[in-house]
C-alpha cells in the first residue's frame, strides 16, 4: 500500500494504451494503491468523454476502477480553503492547487504529475515529481 503518494489526473489516463511509453509506469503507480481525489476521478471521466470520445459506460467503469484501486480523498470546503492558500502562495492554477491541497490533507509526501514543477517541495512536506523523467 502506498497511501503516501498522490496521483494527478493525467497519470491515471495512460493505462488505456499498453503500447504507450508511459503505460508501464502509470500501471505500476496505480497498482501501488495510491491516493487520488474526487477531482481526479471526475477529471478522468471528463477526459474519457470529451477527448477520448468514450461511451458513458466506459467512463463510469473507469471511474469505478479508480475508486476501487485507490484511496480516495474527498474534496471538502476545507480542501478548497487550503487550495486558495496554495494558489496565492505558489502561483499554480486553481485546479492544480486543489490537487496539491488534497495531497497535503491526505498526508502524502509525493505528488506524481507531469503538469507542475518537478522537484518543488510544497509546505515542506509534499514533493512534486514527474514519474516519467
Name the residue ranges covered by the structural domains of the chain: 5-129
C-alpha cell at 97: 492547487
Distance, in Å, from the CA atom of 56 to the CA atom of 81, rounded to the nearest integer, reads 32
Which fold, 5-129?
A: Rossmann fold (3.40.50)
13: nearest Cα among 71, 76, 74, 58: 58
110: nearest Cα among 17, 74, 100, 24: 100
Residue 129 belongs to what H/E stretch? strand 126-129
CA distances (Å), origin 99, targets 19, 36, 55, 56, 89? 28, 9, 26, 24, 15
Instruction: Please report, in tens digits, the pLDDT of each residue of the chain (133 residues total).
Output: 456 999 999 999 999 989 999 999 999 999 999 999 999 999 999 999 999 999 999 999 999 999 999 999 999 999 999 999 999 999 999 999 999 999 999 999 999 999 999 999 999 999 999 999 9
104: nearest Cα among 25, 37, 31: 37
Distance, in Å, from the CA atom of 40 to the CA atom of 9, rounded to the nearest integer, reads 5
Report the predicted TM-score, pTM, of the whole model to 2 decimal places.
0.93
Amino acid at each position: 500500500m502506498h497511501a503516501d503518494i498522490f496521483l494527478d489526473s493525467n497519470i491515471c489516463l495512460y493505462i488505456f494504451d499498453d503500447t504507450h511509453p508511459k503505460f508501464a509506469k502509470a500501471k505500476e503507480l496505480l497498482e501501488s494503491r495510491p491516493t487520488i481525489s474526487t477531482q481526479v476521478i471526475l477529471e478522468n471521466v471528463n477526459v474519457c468523454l470529451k477527448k477520448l470520445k468514450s461511451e458513458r459506460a466506459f467512463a463510469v467503469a473507469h471511474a469505478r476502477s479508480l475508486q476501487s484501486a485507490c484511496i480516495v480523498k474527498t474534496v471538502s470546503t476545507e480542501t478548497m480553503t487550503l487550495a486558495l492558500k496554495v494558489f496565492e502562495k505558489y502561483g499554480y492554477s486553481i485546479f492544480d492547487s486543489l490537487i496539491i491541497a488534497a495531497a497535503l490533507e491526505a498526508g502524502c509526501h509525493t505528488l506524481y504529475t507531469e503538469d507542475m514543477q518537478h522537484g518543488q517541495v510544497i509546505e515542506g512536506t509534499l514533493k512534486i515529481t514527474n514519474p516519467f523523467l
